C-alpha cells in the first residue's frame, strides 16, 4: 500500500487553523470509503479541539477533488449494501461540514467535480483559483446528485442557474463562479494556497461564539419566517452579551486595539 493510500487525508492545526487536505494526488483526490472515514474523523477532531477556530479544506497535488473514484465504482466489487454505505458516507461528510460549529473554508484549485464540488459548496466559504474548474457531471454519466446539493445550490445561485449547472454538467472557472455568487473569491493561481490561508486566518480572528451562532442561524433561516429569524437573532444577541468575548470586544473597541477573543 502506498503512502498516499495509507494516509488519504492529512490533518494539521496551526494558529487556530485546522487544515484538512485530500491526499490521493495520484488519483486527483478521488474519494473512496477511506477518504470519507478520514474526513468524518478529522471533522470530529476539529469540532472538539478548542484551539481550532476555522477549518480549511483543500487538496494535495493538481486538484481539489474530482469526485468519486470511478475505478473503484467500475470494479463491481461492492455489494449493494456496501455501495449504499459508501453513498451515505458523502451525505454524512456534507452534513457535518454544514453543521460544524466552526466556519469551514474550501480552497479549490484544479478540479472540484461531483462529490468534490458538493463538499466544497457545503463549506461556509468557497475560494477558487481563477483557473479552477467546478462542475456536476453526474447526470451526464447516468449517476445522481448527493451531499444535499439539490437543496443547497438553488439557495446559492437560484433555481434557474442551479438547473443549468446540474442538468448540463458544465464546468465553470473561478472567475465565473465568483460572478455567479457561487464562490466568495476567485484568487490568482500563483500563491493561491497562501492567499486562502490568509483568508482563513483573518476569519479565525473573529469571535468564535458569535460565528457559531451566525452559522447556525443562517443555515436555519431559509426554512424560517421573518418573525422566527428575529426571535433567533434576539436570543443570539442576548446570549453573546453574557460572554467574556463580548466584554473583550467592547473594551477593545474603546481602547482602539484588535480584540483578543478566547471563545468564552
Backbone angles phi, psi at 73, to 5 degrees: -60, -45
What dihedral angle (degrees, nearest 10) is formed by the CA atoms of 229, 235, 238, 239?
A: -120
Buried b (16+ CB within 10 A) or exposed e, 57-96: bbbbbebbbbbbbeebeeeeeeeeeeeeebbebbebbbeb
**Strand segments (E) across 115-263:** 125-129, 133-135, 172-173, 185-187
244-252, Cβ contacts within 8 angstroms, sequence gap of 24 or more: 245/207, 245/208, 245/209, 245/210, 246/207, 249/207
Torsion of CA 251, 209, 216, 91, to 10 degrees: 150
7, 138, 194, 248: the catalytic one is 138
5, 60, 77, 118: the catalytic one is 118
Calculate ∠ Cα 210-50-23, nearest 5°. Answer: 105
Active-site residue 118, yes or no? Answer: yes
Question: What whole-number distance in Å separates Cα of residue 61 and Cα of residue 86?
Answer: 24
Query: Is there a catalytic annotation at residue 138?
Result: yes
The phi, psi pair for 58, rounded to 5°, reads -150, 180
Distance of alpha carbon 25 from alpha carbon 264, whole angstroms: 39
What secondary structure letter does DSSP report for 108? E
User: Which residues are annotated as catalytic?
Assistant: 118, 138
Amino acid at each position: 500500500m502506498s503512502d498516499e493510500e495509507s494516509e488519504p487525508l492529512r490533518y494539521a492545526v496551526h494558529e487556530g487553523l485546522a487544515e484538512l487536505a485530500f491526499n490521493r494526488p495520484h488519483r486527483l483526490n478521488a474519494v473512496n470509503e477511506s477518504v470519507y472515514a478520514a474526513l468524518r474523523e478529522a471533522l470530529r477532531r476539529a469540532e472538539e479541539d478548542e484551539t481550532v477556530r476555522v477549518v480549511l479544506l483543500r487538496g494535495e497535488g493538481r486538484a481539489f477533488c474530482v469526485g468519486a473514484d470511478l475505478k473503484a465504482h467500475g470494479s463491481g466489487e461492492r455489494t449493494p449494501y456496501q455501495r449504499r454505505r459508501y453513498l451515505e458516507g458523502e451525505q454524512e461528510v456534507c452534513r457535518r461540514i454544514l453543521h460544524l460549529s466552526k466556519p469551514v473554508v474550501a480552497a479549490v484549485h484544479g478540479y472540484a467535480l461531483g462529490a468534490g464540488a458538493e463538499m466544497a459548496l457545503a463549506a461556509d466559504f468557497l475560494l477558487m483559483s481563477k483557473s479552477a474548474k467546478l462542475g456536476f457531471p453526474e447526470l451526464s454519466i447516468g449517476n445522481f446528485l448527493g451531499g444535499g446539493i439539490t437543496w443547497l445550490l438553488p439557495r446559492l445561485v437560484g433555481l434557474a442557474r442551479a438547473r443549468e449547472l446540474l442538468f448540463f454538467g458544465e464546468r465553470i472557472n473561478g472567475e465565473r463562479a465568483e460572478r455567479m455568487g457561487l464562490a466568495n473569491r476567485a484568487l490568482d493561481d500563483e500563491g493561491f494556497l497562501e492567499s486562502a490561508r490568509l483568508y482563513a486566518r483573518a476569519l479565525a480572528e473573529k469571535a468564535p461564539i458569535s460565528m457559531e451562532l451566525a452559522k447556525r442561524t443562517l443555515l436555519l433561516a431559509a426554512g424560517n419566517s421573518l418573525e422566527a429569524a428575529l426571535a433567533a437573532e434576539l436570543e443570539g444577541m442576548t446570549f453573546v452579551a453574557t460572554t467574556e468575548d463580548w466584554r473583550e470586544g467592547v473594551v477593545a473597541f474603546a481602547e482602539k486595539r484588535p480584540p483578543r477573543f478566547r471563545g468564552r
